[in-house]
Structure formats: C-alpha cells, structure tokens
Chains A and B, each alone.
Chain A
Amino acid sequence: MPPSGEVLASVSSALAVLLLLLACVELGDAAAAVGVYRLIQYDLAGAPLGSRAAALNHHAAALPLPAGADLSRSALVAPLLDLPLSFLREYLAEKKHLGGLLILLPTNLGAKNGEVSSDDKGQPKSVLAELEKLLVHEEVPFPVYFAFHDDNMENLLADIRKIASSGQPASASTGGYKLIVPSAEPKKVSSPTISNIQGWLPGLKGEGDAEQLPTIAIVANYDTFGAAPALSVGSDSNGSGAVALLEISRIFSRLYSNPKTRGKFNLLFGLTSGGPYNYNGTSKWLRSFDQRVRESIDYAICLNSVGSWSSDLWMHVSKPPENPYIKQIFEDFSDVSKEMGISVGIKHKKINVSNSRVAWEHEQFSRFRVTALTLSELSTPPEFLESAGGLADTRESADVESVMKTVRLVSESLARHIYGLRGRNIDVFAEDSSLAISPHYIRSWLDLFSRTPRVAPFLQKNDPFIAALKKELSEHTADVHVQNDVLDGMFTFYDATKSTLNVYQVASVTFDLLFLLVLGSYLIVLFSFLVITTRGLDDLINIFRRPPSRKVKGA
C-alpha cells in the first residue's frame, strides 16, 4: 500500500527530526562555574613562553599527592602557599606532563596592617612574585589558571582531599570532581596596539617672544604586565605614577588657567603604554614628535612605582650627577624633600645603546638626547617584565599617602623652577589652599586603576579605560591627543585570558556498573516475584527450563 508507506516514511522522518532536536539540547548544568584567569601566553622573538594550552578537561587532584601519582591526566588544584615551587620547577625542567594547574590565590592578597602577624606579612607576595617570575619566563606546556581561594574553592579542595585520602588518585574509575574549561585554541592577538595619551599646558609667551617656550615633560606609563593578564592591575607599577601624573596635571591646570600665574614653561603630560616592553611606547611616542618640539623639552620627569614608599625616593638618571642640569634638578628636589622630611637619593646608571634592554623610562628620553630622570621607590632597575604590575600588585600595595607625597615633591619643585622661587620657602600647594593636593581625587583614580587590568595588547585602542584617561587629561590640559601605534613585532600575544571553569561532580564508571548490577537484580527479583505470585512457582521454572515449549503453549 503506497499511501500508508508514505505516511510511515513522513512520520519516521518527523520522528528523526524530533530526536535530532532533542539530542541538540545542550547542557550547562555545572555544579559550579568559577571565573578563572589564564596564565599569559606569548612569544618573545619567536620563542614560545607562558602557558601554551587553554582547554582543560581533567579530574581534579590536590596536594599532598599520593606517592607515584601520575598527574598527566589530572588537573592539580593548589593554593598558592601550598604549591612547592621546586615541584613546579621539576615539572618544567623535566618536561613532565601535567593535565593542568589551577592556582588558588588568597583573596586577601597583601592584606597589610591587620591581624596578620609580622612574619606572615608579605609572604604570599614574595611567593607570588617568585612564582610569576618562574611561569612568565618558561614555556609551560599545560594550561595554568588562577582563581581566588574563596569558600566554595575551600569546600572543593576539602572534598578532593577527602576523595584522595581514600587511596586512589582521581581518575575516571573513582569519580570525584572534573574540572572543565571549554576553550578554543588561543589565537594570536593581531597587531597589538599601544596608545600613548598626551596633553599640553601651554605656557605664557611674553610680548615679542618669538622663540618657543621651553617644555617640561611629566611622563608615566600606565600599562602593566603580569602572569595573568586579566588580573594585572598594577596599582603600584605603574598605576601610582599615572595617578600622580593626573593629579599634577590637575593642580597645574588651575595655576595655568589664570594668565597671572601661567608660567613661562610649557608642560607636557604623557601617559605612555608599552612600559614593560622596554618602554616601547615611549620610544614611539618620542619619535612621533617634531625635532624642534623634542629639542624644546628642558627635561622630563618620569614617574614609576611611587605608591608605596615611606621616606626614601630615588631619582634615577643616566647622565652623571655632576652634569649641571641634573645637579640643578636634584637640588630642586632635595630642597623640597628636606622641607617635607623625606630623602631623595640619586642613582646613576649609564645607558648602553647596544643593549635592547631599557630599564627606566627616562632612558628612552636619553636615547633622544633629552635630559630626563625617573622618580621611583625602587632603588635598582627592575629586570625585564618584572615589577610591571603583576599578580601581587593589587590595590593594597599602593597607598594614597605615598602618591600624595610624590605629587607634592614633584609639583612643589616644578613650581619653584617655573616661577623662579628657588631657595625660597614657599608652599605653593599648601594644604588648605585652592591648589591643595586632593587625596580624594588620588584615591578614586587609584581605585579605578586597581580595578582595571591594563596589559597593553589586550587593551583595544577604543577601550573605555583609555577613553577615560583621555577625557580626564582633556579636563585639565589642552591639545589632548591619543597616539596609536603597533607594539614591537618582537612580541606576539595570545588571547583567552579569562575563562569560566566548570566544576562537575561526576560518578565513577564503577558506580554506574554497580548501579546497573543492583538495578538488574532488582528487576529480576521483581519479575520472579510477580510470576510466582500471579502464576505460581512452576511457571517461573518453566520459563527458564523450556522457553520453546512455552512459546508453543502461548501460540
């Protein structure tokens, strides 16, 4: 019968479609979904560094590990302080494979002056700094994620340990927890941009003053670099410097708004990017200037890591301290610092033009023969990709007080230089005047910086943060301009800095088999019971004894 056949065919195809639809219902029912932050992945001059994988799908394991445990198919969950660095070094050195690593960062990272006893103080930070150094400069073949060690994670960890203490390491046959980060292969960030923001406070030209006014530049880099790009907020390095710059621009804009107090110097404010990468952005920024503008720069003050010092600040220069310019600037600073009761030291480090490493921002100026110096709390030049705003550099590591002192030091000495007040004990920015340094302004900006990860390759040029910096600078200065350039081709970065970790509690295959066994016996017992009660024992025996005869009987 063709019609019925057609009907059957259409029904079966409809059924197939329905089944297909049902099978497509995807499931997102994880017990917990945690935001995790991936270790940075980048290539430096073609050499692969950082975590080279993003996808994670393994059973969870925790320290302490049972002897002889094979971790190649498990994801190790370790709180920061429990993770022995020697263990990690061994894995990296011997190229042993680890399924994955989830490092739990303490939530109160760098909680200072509190109930923390003195020997604990800074311990997580130093461990973190060491870990960061290790991971950033190595090729890590497995996925490494950072998460915060909250209560849920604590429970998870306790559960994993409980399961592990039962003897067997986690695997498919023992159940436990499965950690899954669904992630595609990380892609290269195509042409990472660096955005330098500049603004001018033009000085007052005298009548008939044809010559260009001298310029003083105040510069700070605002971007960061750290093991986890999505966590690199760099409050101290170099959020503090950028905030100090914003505050200096604010108070000088007040002075410059009145023609009577407008100085005979142009002030140039520059928020540069690419700081961790040998101040690549600063170099590109300087190159973009006209030769005459560059030559008009009297000197440049770079601010770097000025958020956590108490009484000692260092002035780093690349010209010898005997140089008259340097001497003069240093004397300006020392005068003010004496009044403030702090000390400013001078450190001279010659630049080596053949070496590509640029440790301080002022060295880029020096390479363009512009007198420059860096004010920093660091007494020694940082190593490459270090002290650039890593994991440990959170809001707690920068305090408003230090930034205020820096602002006072810089602006007071600048004002004396600009208005020729040298040697006179005048507080231009006295605390109760309209020119007072505002702790609220500094605090709010420091808070914002501490909330915003600022690793340059992951900051698009139209990022709201860059727009906010631009807007803030244009509130105080004129001719604000954002210069976008491409980061040095030596670096290649990969995306997928942030992900969601799904934690599943899974049953083991053994459990499923056991369950099947119990289920089977239950059904058999039920069957036998029903047969016996409704038909009698003989029938049951007959079923098993002579199946064919029963069929005949039934027929």
Chain B
Amino acid sequence: MTVFHFLNCAVLTFGPHVVYYSATPLSEYDTIGTSVKAAVVYLGAALVKLVCLATFLKVPDANDSFDPYQELMKILIGFIDVAGLYFAMTQLTHRNISQNHKFQAVGLGWAFADSVLHRLAPLWIGARGLEFTWEYIFQGVEANANLVMTLSLAALGSLMWLRKNKPKTLIPIIYACALLLATMPSITSYLRRSLEWQTPKVVGFELFSSLIMAFISWQLFSACQRPM
C-alpha cells in the first residue's frame, strides 16, 4: 500500500514532464538530446550554486529570521540558474531545431533534472513509510508548478537571447518578467520562512503564480512571433 502511495507521488512528480514531452511536437522532432544536455548543464549549475552557497552564506539557525542581506545573496546566487539557462540555450550547439522547440526542450530537461535532484530522494525515503502525510503530494504539485515556471523562464530567455527583432516596447516587460521569475524561489522562501505560510498555502501560491507567469510569457512570446 505504501509502495502504491510512493508510485502515485512519483507519477505526480515526474509524470507531467513525460507527458509534456510526448504530447508536444518535441517528441516528433526527437529533441531528447537537447533536454539531456540541459539537464547536464543544470547539474553543473547546481554544483556551482552549492559551492557559492557554502562560500557566501552562513549556516542558518533554526530560529533564524529573514535576513535581507543573506536573502539578497541567495537571489544573486539564484541567478546562476539564469546563467546556466543562457549557456544551455546559446552556447551549446544543438542539432537544427527551431527556437520554439529549443526553449521547450531546454526548459523540460532543466525542470526534470531539478525534480530528480531535489525530490526523488526525499520521495524514496519518505513516501514508502507507513505514516501518511500530505507532504509528498504537495511536493509533486510543487514539481508541476516548477515545470511551468522553468518553461516560462526558458521562453523569456529565448526571447531575450535568441530573438533579434522583437518589438522595442516589449523589451522592458520581458526583462521584468524574467527577473520576477528568477527571483521566484526567493519569494517563496520568504513566504515560507518570514510570513510562516503553511505548505498548502505556499504550494497554492506557487501554482497560481506559475500559471499567471506562464500566461504572461505565452502572450509575450506570441506577441514577438507576430511579424512586425
């Protein structure tokens, strides 16, 4: 029964990535290589992030309140992710795939690697236990929100770095949205730690904000697609 629960949670956590890959044209153009490369870049970025976190941040105490300086450092370190995405999208040579598919493949690989790295081990250890908690279900929902968020960020990234002729008026909006998306992990951490939101509320917020951001990104993306 508990293995059943574990499988359920695993499907909730990793299923959407698979579904996304197989449902969208990504599967038809066989972009798995790009996704794998993005995942490898993610691993590298995560390593760099770990080193930076260990170097620049002090060990948080249990009763530590929200420290603005520390959080600022965290946000800055969080931008390593953006740098990684940039690297994955512009520096790596990919097989000839369209920009459209490229950002999706990179975002998908990125989000999948993130899920595997952050959620697989707790899931394996925790969800097989006899004790029932909602924790792993929320974690799965969080993985979904993260996928949407990463895809949005990748879409904005592709607008910023790959598309040359975009409407001038939209550029500040694109940058603002990308900034917002990149600071999203810090925002949720702020909500959780400083405002002491409970997990369901935080996850709900993440889900909601990711959908909003996805919608905005989609609008921006299609606005840039239009011939000028």
Contact = CB atoms under 8 A, between A and B. Distances in A.
B22 A527 contact: yes
A504 interface: yes
Nearest to A553: B28
Contacts of A505: 131-133
B125 interface: yes
Contact of B23 (A22, A180, A519, A526): A526
Which of B25, B129, B132, B133 has the most A CB atoms < 10 Å from its CB?
B132
Given A519-B11, A523-B15, A527-B19, A535 B130 contact: no
Which of A172, A516, A554 has the most B CB atoms < 10 Å from its CB?
A516
Contacts of B12: 519
B95 to A, nearest CB: 17
B132 A27 contact: no
B142 to A, nearest CB: 15
B1 A512 contact: yes
Interface residues of A, number: 28
A244 to B, nearest CB: 50
Nearest to B125: A25
A525 to B, nearest CB: 10
A515 B130 CA distance: 17
Interface string A520-555: 000100111011001100000000000000000010
A526 B125 contact: no
Given A27-B128, A504-B130, A505-B131, A519 B8 contact: yes
Contacts of A504: 129-132
Contacts of B20: 526, 530
B19 A509 contact: no
A534 B20 CA distance: 11
Interface string B119-132: 00000111011111
Contacts of B19: 523, 526-527, 530
B131 A506 contact: yes
B8 A515 contact: yes
Contacts, number: 71
A180 B130 contact: yes
A153 B46 CA distance: 44
Q: Which secondary structure dominates chain B's binding surface?
A: helix
Contacts of A516: 4, 8
Nearest to B23: A530
A178 interface: yes
Nearest to B121: A22
A34 to B, nearest CB: 14
Nearest to B12: A519
A517 to B, nearest CB: 10
A507 to B, nearest CB: 4
Contact of B129 (A27, A172, A527, A531): A27
Interface in B46-102: none
Nearest to B218: A533
A175 B132 contact: yes
A321 to B, nearest CB: 66
B131 A30 contact: yes
Nearest to B5: A512
Interface of A: 22, 25, 27, 29-31, 172, 175, 178, 180, 504-507, 509, 512, 515-516, 519, 523, 526-528, 530-531, 534-535, 554
Given A504-B130, A519-B8, 6 more contacts: A175-B132, A506-B130, A509-B1, A516-B4, A527-B22, A528-B23
Interface of B: 1, 4-5, 8, 11-12, 15-16, 19-20, 22-25, 28, 124-126, 128-133, 137
Top 9 nearest A-B pairs by Cβ distance?
Answer: A530-B23, A507-B132, A27-B129, A504-B130, A504-B131, A527-B23, A534-B24, A29-B129, A531-B23
30 contacts: A27-B125, A27-B128, A27-B129, A27-B130, A29-B126, A30-B131, A504-B130, A505-B131, A505-B132, A506-B130, A506-B132, A512-B4, A512-B8, A515-B5, A515-B8, A515-B137, A519-B12, A519-B15, A523-B11, A523-B15, A526-B16, A526-B23, A527-B22, A527-B23, A528-B23, A530-B19, A530-B24, A531-B23, A535-B24, A554-B28
